[in-house]
Amino acid sequence: MKNISALAFTFEIKSNGIANFNTKPPFDTLQWVQNNIISNKQNFIGGNFTALLNTLPIPLKSYYTISPENTINSCTAIGVSFLPSFEADPDNYPPGMFLVTLIIVWQTPIPLSECVEIGKITKGNWTGSENQFYGNRIIADILLVDFTR
Amino acid sequence: MHIHIGGHPEPSVNDIIQLANVNAITNSGYTTEFVVNENGEKYAIVIIDAGKAVNFYNAYKNSYAAPGVWYTDTKIGRKFYDIKNLLMLRDHQSELNAHMLAQAYILKEFKSGISLLQQQPDGTFHEVHQQVIKHRNSDPTFITTICP
């Protein structure tokens, strides 16, 4: 019985990114994201982020801004996860298990100072402030982090 | 040695990968690259473990794009931007500092065999070491060390 419980638990982490001990079949976040977001990303590109947020079956919990080397002081994208900020760390998972992280690339880069101002208050947790601030931004591309690369 | 005009002052991803690559291919003992920025700040990247540098090169040579940014949808890119973001939001580092410290963190965390050194006011170069101590259910602690 112990073995069965352990197996159910690890499967739950891998597929959901959220661990719980209930016995109903786990919701597979990765598969859902691949089927509904990545495979259909043309439906979201060119639209605002709110449209994508409204389709998510579970709410976002954390995010990080992406300001690459060649675009100082600009946030060109954000990475979003379904776990709280500090726990959304793939290093916390056993080998072979990974975390669903979506990269949302903006059509127009956002001044990084504005993103940091909000982020310092919410500490990287996804809240109503982020919904409001990022919701009307237009999506240029959507990527799924591949932890094997 | 080369000069960075504009952009981030410290050695770029491109500099790091190329140093590892040249060292691996030529086995020439070419182990150090100096970078000077327009403000006169000087940095160096030094191979301290050639074997690890080769492994790092082979593992991540396809994880970056010219002119020197980690792909955002890779494991190393995710870690880099997540740590940079945490340093800005929770440790109140400037964007430039956070970028440099995140680079130092990545070199250590991904066992690159390469160290990032920064010139100090007395002219000597010292390794920049960035740690993130994880705590369950509370904020992480950031420790930046300029090694002696």
* Per-residue pLDDT reduced to its tens digit, A11-58: 334 444 444 545 566 678 889 999 999 999 999 999 999 999 999 999
Tell if the CB–CB gap between A123 and B85 is shorter than 8 Å. Answer: no
Contact B36, B56 (CB under 8 A): no
Q: Using DSSP bridges, classify how beta strands B69-70 and B114-119 pair: parallel, antiparallel or unpaired.
A: unpaired
Contact B9, B103 (CB under 8 A): no
Among chain A residues, CA nearest to B140: A86
pLDDT digit string, tens, across residues B72-120: 999 999 999 999 999 999 889 988 889 899 999 999 999 999 999 999 9
Tell if the CB–CB gap between A116 and B88 is shorter than 8 Å. Answer: yes
pTM of the predicted protein model: 0.83
Amino acid at site B18? Q
Which residue from B65, B89, B63 is spatially nearest to B77, judged by alpha carbons?
B63
pLDDT band at A65 (very low <50, low <70, confident <90, very high): very high
Whether pLDDT at B140 is above 50 = yes
For chain A, the structural domain boundaries read: 28-144
Query: Which positions in chain A touch B69 (Cβ < 8 Å)?
Result: 68-70
Among chain A residues, CA nearest to B99: A69
Which residue from A33, A16, A134, A149 is spatially nearest to A78, judged by alpha carbons?
A134
Strand partners, A65: A78
Q: How far is CA B82 from CA A54, A135, B75, B106, in A?
A: 24, 21, 11, 11
Strand partners, A125: A62
Tell if the CB–CB gap between A67 and B95 is shorter than 8 Å. Answer: yes
